[in-house]
Amino acid sequence: MQIDTPATPASSAGNSTSVRQWLSVIAVAVSAFAFVTAEFLPVGLLPQIAQDLGVSTGVAGLMVTTPGVMAAIFAPTLIVSAGRMDRRYVFPLLTAVLLIANAVCAIAASFPVMLVGRALLGAALGGFWTLATAAAPRLVQAKDAAKATATILTGVTFATVIGVPLGTFIASFASWRLSFAATAGLVALALVAQAFLVPSLPSASALRIASFRTLLSRSHTRMSLLMVALVFGAHFSTYTYIAPLLEQDFSLSAITLLLFGFGLVGFFSNASMSMMVSDHLKKSVAMMILLLLAAMSFMLLLEHSTFGETAGMLLWGIAFGALPLCFSVWIQRGTADLPEAGSAMFVSIIQVAIAAGSAVGGTIVDRAGVHADFTLGLVLALLGLVTLQRLAALERSDKASSFERTCDASIE
């Protein structure tokens, strides 16, 4: 059963977003919860999976790297291949692939088979996030676009609050395989929610390769993508290996609580930021990157201090709870004329950062230790902050040039 709505975007009619429209947003948010839970489930289970499948911790990090690589490739590929196909039908197809991926991971008898499952997840993930971030403004009225994006991204924070810690908890008394099986059940629920609640979302025109070239020709877009890559690279080069760091000082149950706290503060951070990001975008991005820097500094400088590491995890949760929303709104504004192309590039650069960050981080962890890995994360986050400063300067320069052109035209 499907709920049909007019083919035009939701923002084109009326002033208030209806309950039906908000339910469609919630359905996509549930799907986001399922995708993110599946994507980052190995983070809390890395030591157990590595031991069971006979690989090192750094090699086990490929379970995060592989989906990132596949998502980066398939984000633009799938959206171009989908052409003008109604996005309502693309969503469940991608979610069905995610269901298969989790089933493969749950029964994997060797690490290569595990990576096959993770690759399937990545392929579906790239297409899903491209559609989800581009569809958010179309599901509601224009004035609620930022709230709709925040609601969908709440699925990300709920995954870190409930999904990933729950997977770690299940593994603590049963098996990591059961964690993947439970996630497959969650994906099935998301599939049902999509079938009943996501409305018709026809594409006005097929996305073309030229759209990507157009966006990449803009210096603001290129620099924005670089900023996102640096900050997400900082996060995933370190967060992927947080369990090996924490297990030096915390029990598995305590790590589960810390991951829960990370996600819980992230949830409230995302909710709070949704109310101010539209009016204070640059300040919001700067504040969250600074918090990320502070969190990593705590983890690095106060290593083996349970209080310091706990404080660092909570600060980290606040920062990362809001950063996806801040960056999503940033890219949406910068690519408003080509939203699906902008969304695909946004998803691709994030997944490249996840893949590269987790791969490089794993190599550093195996060869130089977690301490050196966190030093890399600090450097990348700092470079992200510098890039934001350069973007602000570029925008001021563009405004000044526009003002001068307007004045010259008036004089003539």
Buried b (16+ CB within 10 A) or exposed e, 363-372: ebbeeeebee
DSSP codes, 265-281? HHHHHHHHHTTTTTT-H
Residue 172 domain-assigned (yes or no): yes
- Would you state the pLDDT for residue 13? 45
* pLDDT above 70: percentage of residues in the chain: 90
Residue 228 domain-assigned (yes or no): yes
Instruction: Count how many domains the chain has.
Output: 1
Q: Tell me the average pLDDT across 147-153.
A: 81
Residue 1 domain-assigned (yes or no): no
Question: What is the rounded CA–CA span in Å between residue 129 and residue 348?
Answer: 9
- Average pLDDT value for the chain: 82
Residue 237 domain-assigned (yes or no): yes
Q: Tell me the average pLDDT across 123-150.
A: 80
The boundaries of the domain holding residue 115 are 19-405
Residue 82 pLDDT grade (very low, low, confident, very high; cuts 50, 70, 90) = low
Q: For residue 399, how many other CB atoms are within 10 A of its CB?
A: 10
* For residue 5, pLDDT beyond 50: no
Residue 410 domain-assigned (yes or no): no
Here the tokens at position 152 are 């969908």
Q: Tell me the average pLDDT across 182-190.
A: 89
- Would you state the pLDDT for residue 7? 36
Task: Tell me the pLDDT tens digit for each residue of 306-361.
Answer: 888 899 999 999 998 889 889 988 988 888 888 778 878 888 888 788 878 888 88
Asked whether the beta carbons of 316 and 199 are under 8 A apart, the reply is no
Asked whether the beta carbons of 228 and 350 are under 8 A apart, the reply is yes
Question: What is the rounded CA–CA span in Å between residue 126 and residue 397?
Answer: 34
Task: Tell me the pLDDT tens digit for each residue of 295-306.
Answer: 999 988 887 788
* pLDDT above 90: percentage of residues in the chain: 22
Residue 8 pLDDT grade (very low, low, confident, very high; cuts 50, 70, 90) = very low
Task: Check which CATH number belongs to the domain holding 384 and give it.
Answer: 1.20.1250.20
Here the tokens at position 281 are 């975008």
Question: What is the rounded CA–CA span in Å between residue 188 and residue 326?
Answer: 30
Q: Tell me the average pLDDT across 227-256.
A: 86
* For residue 378, pLDDT beyond 90: yes
Question: What is the rounded CA–CA span in Å between residue 323 and residue 39?
Answer: 18
